[in-house]
Structure 1
């Protein structure tokens, strides 16, 4: 299972937040990196796989394309959510898979081809309609994405933990490649995701707190 480090970018810096309250996200000035400047941050942590959420572009008030392109050669592969609203928003760059989030991607997801679809979940439902995640996953075979991400926005930064039975139901509902992010609190959750058959886990807070070993993030694998 891939172990993927999540990085949120806002106002030119790596930020840390909780529960999706983006107006309260602040520069990440604690943890294993001594800088919140994106390239310096990635150089310090040296992850094999990187997930970047460009919060400014998601919210329609700027972008971090230069930082993204500078970080891409530093990792094996990058997964990038840049707030796609049309297929033209894909970033065609070596080593980068663009993510289409349900929060911004619109109602006709069949327009998109390739990359990853992120099921952005809040209050138990997929944004923006509140659809049931299991039902949504069961219908993903109609689309042309390379894989799917379950992103529990409310759980980001909370380390609230995961329900193994729920993970198993999610995995059964989806026939494609499947990642999970949001609320992964430690190695027990990583084991639960791996045992359920997930292909990747997106982590951040537990790494910065030293709960998930940085060496594992550098290897990029949990086994």
Structure 2
């Protein structure tokens, strides 16, 4: 299973939020590059960079975030980036910065980016965000409902050729409350090999469950920063 450590950037710092609420910000570092390099030095292979300001405020991805992507890639990391992909130009800019994968959500759900045009960049490179709340997929900083259930989104876009989905349980994001077993089991097994899961992970046991259930990967954040997951314990689960 792929294990990605989240590097969420907000106001120039590495932070975590509770359920995406800017009022709940906890700062872990004022130097994103130093923190990213530290994560790589601790044996983590994959970093998931998010421009939270862009995601929350509806702006395009920041140049400072693209520079961070390039630096982490040059340091040997496998880098995914999301937040602020407002048009096809932003998608291409992220790829040009060296991102191995780029997460797109709002721009596709709002019809700004044609999903087939995005997919031309590679099914192994473009990740569709499927952030779930109250049974429906939400976008625009988790404020607007798409009107579709998670499984409807997985079915619709996988039929188009999408092979990568970032599924976030927004109601547990940053909570350290553990996996929602009902939510996890509701994702059909036939799609789990396409899904990188996020939301509520509190320890290595949650990762073992996701690996056993056949998920492609997982994004961990607060559990890593709070020392609840030791990178040394990840080797047996990594692929």
Query: Which TM-score bucket, shorter chain as reference?
Result: 0.7 to 0.9
**Aligned counterparts, 1:136-151, within 5 A:** 136-151=153-168
| 174-183 vs 45-54, which moves further | 174-183
Q: Which residue of 113, 117, 134 maps to 1:123?
A: 134
1:48 matched to which residue of 2? 45
1:39 matched to which residue of 2? 33
CA apart distance, 1:184: 1.0
CA contact (8 A) 1:51 1:78 kept: yes
**Aligned counterparts, 1:1-223, within 5 A:** 1-28=1-28, 35-46=29-40, 47-58=44-55, 59-61=57-59, 63=62, 64-90=65-91, 91-92=94-95, 93-101=97-105, 103-108=106-111, 109-113=115-119, 114=122, 115-127=126-138, 128-164=145-181, 166-172=183-189, 174=191, 177-216=194-233, 219=235, 221-222=237-238
The secondary structure found in structure 1 opposite 2:171 is helix
Change (3 A) 1:130 1:216: farther
Q: How far, CA to CA, are the matches of 1:123 and 1:72 in structure 2? A: 36
Please identify which structure carries the higher strand content. Answer: 2
Q: How far, CA to CA, are the matches of 2:208 and 2:116 in structure 1? A: 33
Change (3 A) 1:132 1:155: same
User: After the TM superposition, which parts of structure 1 deviate over 6 Å for at least 4 consecutive aligned residues?
Assistant: none
With normalisation by structure 2, the TM-score equals: 0.79
Q: How far, CA to CA, are the matches of 2:48 and 2:116 in structure 1? A: 23
CA contact (8 A) 1:134 1:173 kept: no
CA apart distance, 1:203: 0.3
CA contact (8 A) 2:3 2:238 kept: yes
With normalisation by structure 1, the TM-score equals: 0.84
